[in-house]
Chains A and B, each alone.
Chain A
Amino acid sequence: MLRKKDLLGLKDLTKEEIEDIIIRAESMKEAFVGGEMLNSLKGKCVATLFYENSTRTKNSFETAARFLGARTMSIAASNSSIQKGESLVDTGRTLDALMTDIIVIRHSMAGAPALLAQKVKASIINGGDGMNEHPTQSLLDLLTMKEKFGAIKGLKVVMVGDIKHSRVARSNLWALGKLGAETTVVAPQTLLPSNVEELGCEVSYDLEEAVVGANVVMGLRIQLERQKVGLFPTISEYGKEFAITEEKLAACPDALIMHPGPVNRGVEITSEIRDGENSVINEQVTNGVAVRMAVMDMLING
């Protein structure tokens, strides 16, 4: 059960709520890969409101909405009244007036979905807000892990990359912690958020050492502009220390390789690993549709 108007993040969900979404997503996945259209959102309207560019998240939500029988609207900041200076709240109220049932928002600023949720009637799904959360990305990661290992509890998950600026890392830290996985984050200190260990994870500066016994190694995107503001000296040095390579994974040759995309090939992960047999990066995308179907279904139908 998910008795909530909105899905703003995983930090405020219980273990049971997260597990229920995953279970619902498993049945949604059957329908999706089987090509079976559902009608649980028939007559409903889902709008995607994207203040940042996105390929997979936006299309994933729209695909999920249509599979549930909803009609969809797509508002991008770059070609809407947002360009004319319309505020977030006013844009949300416009969507309310268009009888929108669900607004999926992607925004570069943390808390934007929370602000919208306070001010509009539609259900808000956070499609990624600044450095805060990307709950459906984490849910699809969880679904992927559960499919491979049967359970999340007891898994050892290593996340490497720009943890500091990553909403995917935040959502996964919340969820994996609640579900009983052990997590380790690996990055230079400049790419770690302050007090991150208080969120219940281990911190390591050494990827080779951190992956000993790991079930999952997840790479996170390195934005090239972080180098320009001085958080690390060069991509080359970052890669030497922190890129996911075959050599660094010597201690966990069977670990599942995950990445939320888009991948900077050769920067945070080598192409060999990205395309290797342990990589589930493409399955993650399919599972994304399933969890988004589940979340929308549960917010509207309970």
Chain B
Amino acid sequence: MSILIKGGRIIDSGEIKADVYIENGKIMRVGENLDMDATTFINASGKLVMPGLVDMHCHLREPGFEHKETIESGSRAAIYGGYTSIACMPNTNPVIDNAAIARYVAMRGKEAGYARVYPIGCITKGQKGEELAEMAKMKDAGIVAVSDDGRPVMNSGIMRNALEYAKTFNLLVIDHTEDVNISADGVVNEGLNSTIAGLRGINRAAEEIGIARDIALAESLDARVHIAHVSTAGSVELIREAKARNVKITCETCPHYFSATDEEILSYNTNAKINPPLREQSDCDAIIEGIKDGTIDAIATDHAPHSADEKGKEFDLAPFGTVGFETALSLAYTYLVDTGEIDMPTLVELMSHAPSRILGLPIVHIRPGIMADIIIFDPDANWTVKAAELHGKGKNCLYDGWTLKGKVSHTIVGGELKF
């Protein structure tokens, strides 16, 4: 199997015009006017040829919640969004807190044969925040990080042990920071719009207290920590200051924290019910500043599929989350690149290179000898998101009806054209 991509502009750490020849899963040649026989020929004229995207935060719901998404349906949807590698959170049923389940998820990912699927294991057994899960065994089984995801470790003593123990095995700890005594039964950002809608608010301090704690722990233990889905201006500032002191902290944000605000909840649209909640315009602005100055390392999707029945309930009863695989790149392009905030190589850093580096996955460059996880992106394709036409099982898309700029046209994983 060989693929020749002709006429595109290559976006990597820089930008050049060149053709790409792929054979046996690897990039063989990159250069002008390549002219070899290939089983597949792609005309990329006017388009951008980029490393495949790497999502360090998604939910594939299998095992246990197959009515929302499966590893197959999710990893297939990822392909349509330009993701060639995805790391899935362990809040399944049973949770991924042991090597057997981790191995199962990794195997199901391989069987599906779409994006590469990397499981994330739990920090604690049963995601209960009490006893450490078997991190070393899970690492052998293929996990790329540990996280208790939406049930964050509230006990700071246990978090301290987790950071130190994970350090032993060079395993990344990802923390969804949330002081649950503050967020309590809140469903939206606390502020003017929660008051207008009469919905219970989640004060921003819930997220920021967790980050401040993790910074203190990481700093004093000289351990590393990764903060999931940063959503507030205060969080960006805390991480910026910590990085200036060389604390080993990295973080991600998600497209909905720079492209949408809590005005979306005024209509009680349950697809705008997300945790952490959509914030305010000043937070979006601060997130973009954090992306520009390198405080924010990566953009992840937090792809969180749910069934229509679940999202069709009263706002308070509907589960948190929006799907994100198929809109993330277009949102980043529309709100960050097209607006002139960042350039395309920076986007590649945020959505491919940085997440790979943080997770310890191979970093894809468009160079000979590198594994051919490549996407082709058409920056001129304007399109309107239609939730019903998305490829995943969950159609709960905040962006239904939004018009976005730029769309993935081809996704190649390991030298195979998947879409």
> CB distance A110 to B312 under 8 Å?
no
Looking across the interface, which residue of chain A has its beta carbon closest to that of B199? Answer: A110
Interface presence of A11 (CB below 8 A): yes
Q: Which of A115, A170, A195 contacts B198 (CB 8 A)?
A: A170
Smallest CB separation, A135 vs chain B (Å): 12
Minimal beta-carbon separation of B248 from chain A (angstroms):
35
Contacts of A88 in B (CB 8 A): 313-314
Mostly, the A contact residues are mixed
A111 vs B199: C-alpha distance in the bound complex, in angstroms? 8
| Interface assignment of A177: CB less than 8 Å from any CB of chain B | no
Q: How far is the CB of A83 from chain B (nearest CB, A)?
A: 16
The one of A114, A170, A194, A198 that contacts B190, using a Cβ cutoff of 8 Å: A194
- Contact indicator A198/B198 (Cβ below 8 Å): no
Q: Which residues of A lie under 8 Å from residue B268 when comparing CB positions? A: 110-111, 114-115
Which of B195, B200, B315, B317 has the most A CB atoms < 10 Å from its CB?
B195
A144: CB under 8 A from chain B? Answer: no
Which residues from chain B contact A110 at a C-beta distance below 8 Å? Answer: 197-199, 268, 315-316
B195 adjacent to A111 (CB under 8 Å)? no
> Are A112 and B194 neighbours in the complex by a CB distance under 8 Å?
no
Q: How large is the interface on B (under 10, 10 to 19, 20 to 34, 35 or more residues)?
A: 20 to 34
A109 → chain B, closest Cβ, in Å? 4
Is A87 part of the contact surface with B, judged by Cβ < 8 Å? yes
Tell me, yes or no, whether A100 is within 8 Å of chain B by CB.
no
With A131-B199, A133-B198 given, is the CB distance from A109 to B317 under 8 Å?
Answer: yes
A29 on the interface (CB 8 Å rule)?
no
Q: Is the interface of B mostly helix, strand, loop or mixed?
A: loop
Interface of chain A residues 82 through 121 with chain B (CB within 8 A) = 87-89, 107, 109-112, 114-115
Known: A110-B316, A130-B199, A132-B197. 7 other contacts (CB 8 A): A109-B314, A110-B199, A110-B268, A112-B315, A129-B198, A193-B194, A195-B192
Please state if B199 and A11 are interface contacts (CB–CB under 8 Å). no
What's the minimum C-beta distance from A168 to chain B, rounded to whole angstroms? 11
CB under 8 Å from chain A, chain B span 199-245: 199-201
List residues of chain B with CB under 8 Å of any chain A CB.
Answer: 190-192, 194-201, 267-268, 309, 312-317
What is the bound-complex CA distance between A129 and B199, given in angstroms? 10
Offer 22 A-B interface pairs, CB within 8 angstroms, sorted by A: A87-B312, A88-B314, A89-B312, A109-B316, A110-B198, A110-B268, A110-B316, A111-B315, A112-B314, A130-B198, A130-B199, A130-B316, A131-B198, A131-B200, A167-B198, A170-B195, A193-B195, A194-B190, A194-B192, A194-B201, A195-B192, A196-B195
A199: B residues at CB distance < 8 A? 195-196
Q: Looking at the assembled complex, report how far the CB atom of A93 sits from the nearest CB atom of chain B, in whole angstroms.
A: 12
Interface residues of A (CB under 8 A from B): 11, 87-89, 107, 109-112, 114-115, 129-133, 167, 170, 193-196, 198-199
Q: Please report the C-alpha to C-alpha distance between residue A133 and residue B197 in the assembled complex, in whole angstroms.
A: 9
- Counting from the closest, the 6 A-B pairs by CB-CB distance are A132-B198, A111-B268, A131-B198, A110-B198, A195-B192, A193-B195
> With A and B bound together, what is the CA distance between A109 and B185 in angstroms?
12
Smallest CB separation, A170 vs chain B (Å):
6
What B residues does A112 contact at CB under 8 A? 314-315
Chain A proximity of B315: nearest CB distance (Å): 4
Contact among A11, A87, A109, A195 for B191, CB-based, below 8 A = A195
- B194 near A111 with CB under 8 A, answer no
Cα(A88)–Cα(B315), bound, Å: 12
Q: Which of A110, A115, A133 has the most CB of B within 10 A?
A: A110
Q: Who on chain A is nearest to B193 by CB?
A: A195
Measured CB to CB, the nearest residue on chain B to A167 is B198
- Complex interface: chain B residues within 8 A of A114 (CB): 267-268
Query: Chain A contacts of B313 at CB under 8 A?
Result: 87-88
B-chain residues with CB within 8 Å of residue A167 when the two chains form the complex:
198
